[in-house]
Structure 1
Amino acid sequence: MRQVRYPVSQAKSPKRDVSGWLIFDKPYDMTSTQAVGKIRWLFGAKKAGHAGTLDPLATGILPIALGEATKTVPAVQDGKKVYRFAIKWGEQTTTDDIEGEVSNSSTARPSEADIRAALPRFTGEIMQVPPAFSAIKIDGERAYDLARAGETVELAPRPVFIETLELIAHRGETSELEMSCEKGTYVRALARDLARHLGTFGHVVELRRTAVGPFTTVRAVDLATLEAAADRDGLLLPISEGLTLLPEIRLTPDQVSVVRHGNPVLLTGRAAPIALEECWASSGGVAVALGRVEMGQFKPQRVING
């Protein structure tokens, strides 16, 4: 398949302070780094980052933070993710997807009943060995760089949590599934392990992410829409949209002034929390800071300027 090239650098233009979330519907064969570079250039933004890498072959939700929203990336990145994907049975590849070469094959094909019976074994907390072609570091080197150099990559199993795993369609040679999971879970590793459990081999041939934390495809923007938009800033979501899954602390104007200087404030009122490990503070719906509550005080950890 011909590789599509997405330029990430064009003629230099003045950068500006623009903040917010773009829920980007990443196209096939674009890296997450290319996506950030392209969108940063289109908005002329000084800062940009993404919440959760997507493989080049994957499409779907790649939340991109601009400006002050980059301070809230961990809050979004730690959220639940939902994937729709297809497994081709009977072939294992070096990358566990269509990018690699076939390394093992089998004539065995699982039945729909066999697949459904196996799914509970891959739900909840399981141990998973990440793919050799992954961004995990080994002695400071990315695993995929070592694998591409021909080195044997051995990664230790790690616990991951899969909330739900459902079979959507079974067509003999391929099956379509949907999974919701916590961060750190590899769809390619799941396809590999599920196939082995079913007595065959398998690899991912289609992969689409439909949700990351609070963001879904409902408000996603594709590249064509973004490039054609006369008012791109109008496509951005407020920083607060990325924080809706965290407890919210509402501040008075006087408290906002204190917090913006990095200082704690005492929370009052019957419903005021005594302790929270993670939360965000707002004023008039606008995000002011990320922080925690200790002994009834909100303590800012990252102040959001806006």
Structure 2
Amino acid sequence: MDGILLMNKPQNFTSFDVVAKLRGILKTKKLGHAGTLDPMATGVLPVFVGSATKACNLLPDSDKTYIASLRLGITTDTQDIWGKVTAARPHSVTAAQFRAAAARFAGEITQLTPMYSAVKVDGQRLYDIARKGGEVERPTRTIYIHSLAVLNEDEQAGEYTIEVSCSKGTYIRTLCSDIGESLGCGAAMTSLVRTKAAGFTLNDCLTFDDVQRLMEEGALSEQLIDVERAFMSLPSVRLSEEDTRRFKNGVKLDISALTVPLTEDNIRVYGFNEEFIGLGYIEQDTQLLRVRSFFENNMYKK
């Protein structure tokens, strides 16, 4: 069984918990996931099965979309409602003021990595330090907010729902907190759903019950998405029968004889029979096409 299994991660499960439970249902250890979600978050979690696990760290589409709710006037140590309240501040923010403040966070911005995160500082996970009551200097990172829309607003309660399309590495709870700080009252995230990741949407996802039922019916393999779909945004090249054989044997190919896009990105490589072989890349100093990764279920058969 090889391919991508799109899961709708339930609340109170870590991403690793999802993989662990699926190992039991699928009776296989060869699983991996892309795009970690916090335990309280729900939504799109791509899980890679079998030979597709090689794709986990090669995905070209790293942008994600979330729907998050937040409450003004409260701050917590985790920047969400599940943490310890550190301050409660009265506010008189209007819906118009909130929309204006949120709009200023669109585009390229800098975020301070939250203490409750898996980032390591001096070999220690920040959340391990935070749980012991410690706090250290953390790195900042530049991220990009492609769009930020206000979906729902309750001015009296100070509660808002936003939809955010953003780059990899964006902390949505930090974004909510920063919007609140810009308004002078603070804010804590109250819910989070990831609606898009790796080019896939929530509509593509299955629940644990769905997976269990499909396994019992012997139909789960039909629901697995071919790993090729995760790379459709990349340029591609098609090889002759001889070049297919040589490429599969790890031989570098002269791109002057191929119709290959001159790109620094990975390239989808197809064999003479139109089957997806895997990924290649152009070695810059030699201008030769080299193997990046093969996917076993699509290996060329001699």
- Give your verdict on TM over 0.5: yes
The residue type equivalent to 1:256 in the other structure is T
Q: 1:267 & 1:53 partners in 2: Cα distance? A: 37
Aligned-partner SS, 1:254: helix
Q: How does 1:126-275 map to 2 (within 5 A)?
A: 126-172=109-155, 173-229=158-214, 230=217, 231-267=219-255, 271-275=259-263
CA contact (8 A) 2:234 2:265 kept: no
Shift of the alpha carbon at 1:111? 1.6
CA contact (8 A) 2:120 2:126 kept: yes
Shift of the alpha carbon at 1:211? 0.6
Q: Which stretch shows the higher mean deviation, 149-158 or 173-182?
A: 149-158
Residue 46 to residue 248, structure 1, CA distance change in 2 (3 Å): farther
Runs of 4+ in 1 over 4 A off after TM superposition: 267-271
Task: Write the deviation string for residues 211-253 of structure 1: whole angstroms up to 9, x where unpaired.
Answer: 1121111211111111111222122101101111222222334
Task: Write the deviation string for residues 157-198 of structure 1: whole angstroms up to 9, x where unpaired.
Answer: 221111111111111221000011111110011011000001
CA contact (8 A) 1:40 1:48 kept: yes
Q: Which stretch shows the higher mean deviation, 293-302 or 209-218?
A: 293-302
CA contact (8 A) 1:290 1:300 kept: yes
Shift of the alpha carbon at 1:288? 1.5
Q: Which stretch shows the higher mean deviation, 172-181 or 241-250?
A: 241-250
Q: 2:98 & 2:265 partners in 1: Cα distance? A: 40
Q: 2:287 & 2:148 partners in 1: Cα distance? A: 40
Q: How does 1:24-173 map to 2 (within 5 A)?
A: 24-76=7-59, 79-172=62-155, 173=158
Aligned-partner SS, 1:76: coil
Q: Which stretch shows the higher mean deviation, 285-294 or 159-168?
A: 285-294
CA contact (8 A) 2:60 2:233 kept: no
**Aligned equivalent of 1:6:** none
Task: Write the deviation string for residues 70-114 of structure 1: whole angstroms up to 9, x where unpaired.
Answer: 111123375210000001111111111122111011111422211
Shift of the alpha carbon at 1:269? 6.9
Q: 1:205 & 1:178 partners in 2: Cα distance? A: 14
Residue 109 to residue 31, structure 1, CA distance change in 2 (3 Å): farther
How does the TM-score come out when normalised to structure 1? Answer: 0.88
Shift of the alpha carbon at 1:124? 1.2
**Aligned equivalent of 1:3:** none
Q: 1:304 & 1:68 partners in 2: Cα distance? A: 6
Aligned-partner SS, 1:258: helix
1:281 counterpart = 2:266: no
Q: Which stretch shows the higher mean deviation, 140-149 or 294-303?
A: 294-303
**Aligned equivalent of 1:299:** 290
Residue 117 to residue 83, structure 1, CA distance change in 2 (3 Å): same
The count of aligned residue pairs is 289
Aligned-partner SS, 2:101: helix
Q: 1:63 & 1:191 partners in 2: Cα distance? A: 25
CA contact (8 A) 2:61 2:233 kept: no
Gaps of 5+ in 1: 1-17
Shift of the alpha carbon at 1:271? 4.6
Q: CA RMSD in A?
A: 1.9
The residue type equivalent to 1:31 in the other structure is T
CA contact (8 A) 2:66 2:165 kept: yes
Q: 1:141 & 1:129 partners in 2: Cα distance? A: 17
CA contact (8 A) 1:125 1:160 kept: yes
Q: 1:195 & 1:21 partners in 2: Cα distance? A: 38
Task: Write the deviation string for residues 116-141 of structure 1: whole angstroms up to 9, x where unpaired.
Answer: 21223211111101211000001111
**Aligned equivalent of 1:5:** none
Q: Which stretch shows the higher mean deviation, 218-227 or 60-69?
A: 218-227
Aligned-partner SS, 1:191: helix
